[in-house]
Structure 1
Amino acid sequence: MVAIIKTGYSIHKVFYYNENKVKENVAECIGAGNYPIDVDKMGLTVKLNRFLKQLELNENVKRNSMHISINFDPSENHSKEKLMAIADTYMEKIGFGEQPYLVYQHHDSGHAHIHLVSINVQRDGTRIDMQNIGKNRSEPARKEIEELFGLVKAQANKNSTDFHLKPIISGKIQYGRSESKKAITNVLTQVLSSYKYASLPELNAVLKQYNVLADRGNEDSKMFKAKGLMYRILDDNGKPIGVPIKASLFYNKPTLKFLEEKFASNTTNEVSDIRRVKNAIDMAFFKAQISLTELVQLLEKDGINTVFRKNAEGLLYGITYVDHTTKCVFNGSTLGKQYSAKAIQERCEPISQAEQKMAGLNNRKLQEITFKTPNSQIIAALFGDDFQNNKYVGSDTIMRQLWDMLTQSEQTAAYLPYELRNKKKKRKGQSNNR
């Protein structure tokens, strides 16, 4: 069992997300807690007003909604009665047993799961503290419930990836409006709220990792001039495929106006987040004769995707870094001049076309690059002159320690794309007494 908790500012959005799933026949409301009548006798107004009336008791609470998904192992298939018993027990153990809540069973994925909708304003108008609810209350509750109901236990490494966003494999999507909309909704639900992006190109740098594109059309189009927006599915070559869908047709209305508000509120200039990406890039260049392909692969192993922007002639003019660990997106120039596309090209030299083909670039006109700055100078720039001596650069053990120190995240998150493909092997420590 895996429980994921999200808080928000709008009970309407959470409520209608689940009710729209019911309308689409991919979910059903199977029960409710602390409502005056049975759920099958309630209409939408009664369900929603129960939340709204209690929220009126403390209008100062802005982040007042709670949306929980409880996910079960794919081998499990529980009855509605058991799912309700699990939901009731979970809500009681995390301190929401007296709160009004609705329970929805969803049928739109390969594993059984339920969604719980509630609020954090109590009957006396006080607010339920949500600080560290996942660690302090949800995790202990999960473990107790697994034992109590005989559920398959969550394994840290395995289950943490089971319910995170997975890249869309476009060949498996049955194109057409309904299937495309479901696939895009899955991506938008997780990306829009969790990543920090300050422009449409930065958002698309993330969406393209999952074969989705937010498209305004060209500057001369009616859609662009009217500030319209469509979402498209991309094939494995990055080309649009299937029917584009207007932003206004999605339940949470991810229109251009909505995104522009997100752009204004998102701040990706946290020093620790910027430092993590910059250090990962610098450390990647310690290897002599590093190519563009190798740079991309090294950063990817550390949870950072590199997105290149090229003009019609195929010339590189921009680089965007997507850090899936901190959920931040940075243009190269945001990190500093030396990380921009122009500066990187000036710091590197091209190699032959034959070597490009051998590197697996599929005959694209991309130049492989060789880092020219000596390792000792990079060490000095990162750590000071005391580290400039080459003996530090020559020690594999110290270099690994520096890498781990520089690229560690100050936040905890799972970067799915790499983890799904390979498990990191632990490096055995070696003693080198001299």
Structure 2
Amino acid sequence: MVAKIKSGKSLTGALNYNEHKVKEAKAELLVARGYLKNAQDLSFDDKLYRLKDQAGKNLRVQTNTVHISLNFDPLEKPDGDTLVSIADAYMKGIGFEDQPYLVYRHTDAGHPHIHIVSTNIEPDGRRISLHNLGKNQSEQARQDIEDRFGLVKAGSKNKDLKPEKIDLVPVQYGKSASKRAVTNVVNEVIRNYKFTSLPELNAVLNQFNVLADRGGKTSVMFARNGLHYYILGSRGEKISVPIKASAIYGKPTLSRLEQRFVLNEALRRLVRDKLREKIDRCAPGCGSIAGLQKQLRAFGVQAVVRSNDDGRVYGVTFVDHELKAVFNGSDLGKQYSASGIIGRLQAEPRVDEQRENVSGVPEKKTVSWLGFTESGQVSAGDSFLEMLLRQENQETEVGGQFLQKKKRKKRKRLNL
């Protein structure tokens, strides 16, 4: 069993997190300790008021929220009663047995786990110290519970989950243990692909529903060069809790990735020309970015297009899964940048305009009644006005030739 303790300043936030999971049918409230009603009879306000009322006994303490998760081995299948007993034993072990707390069972990950929401303010207003709570009381309680309930011991397995040798597939949140799934993808991509920046790494990771995120530019994490990994949903949104880079096997932190950037810069030069050849081979006749993407996929290349809110394309990154290399278009050359690719696609005729029949003679275009071809047949490219003008010109030419013949005959008669 692995226990994680988070302290905070918002009881509402901790409760909302779990209640939102309940609404999504990804969690259920197992028990409510220290409440006058049974768990199933409690409203949201009932749950929150009890916690806030006790936390209000000491308004000087700002950090008054304790949010705990107890995580079990994926092979273990404890039932609801067992989970309640484990939660009670754990809360007693850390000195919270007399506190009000709510126990939720979550089913949104590949391993069984529960969440416990409580406050560290006692009924008399005293504060339960959270300093070294996880290191001391929690660690002892965890070991006792493992022995008492016959659980898989956390110390019996490597703390850092080693990646498995796998064929990369997109991670599906809740289908497997999140940390292990992310570890497998991240390590496999870093080990095999040649990328030279975090955006290029994400161009690969995103295809397997994983994101490496530094946080906002004004965040503390960004300033300290921190890095978190997330599982992404179907719309590219973050749907998992953040996993610290330092907690993943191999520790793919930003500082270590930056060392890979330098090495990969030299390694990917060896395959640059091969990727150019693939693009040059696919570009003619595509007519659009979507057409080019489709053609490139047949050669193992994913073209990741970046566009603004107006739909204007401003960047393209090529991920070659055969060559295991990632290039921004501009790094391949000006003609492979977003503007260069678009210019080439617009300049080159489409495939359907170059089609030939079996005999090798170009097929005639579909026509309509709006105009005529040089042979007198209807041409789809002419307007009705152009058709009338052409007819008038033809009649004028014929009339002119007839008059010239009459003048010649008249001259001949005069000469006679």
Superposition TM-score tier, normalisation by shorter sequence: 0.3 to 0.5
Q: Which has the higher contact order (CA 8 A, sep 6+)?
A: 1
| Greater Cα radius of gyration, structure 1 or 2 | 2
TM-score by length of structure 1 reads 0.45
TM-score (norm 2): 0.47
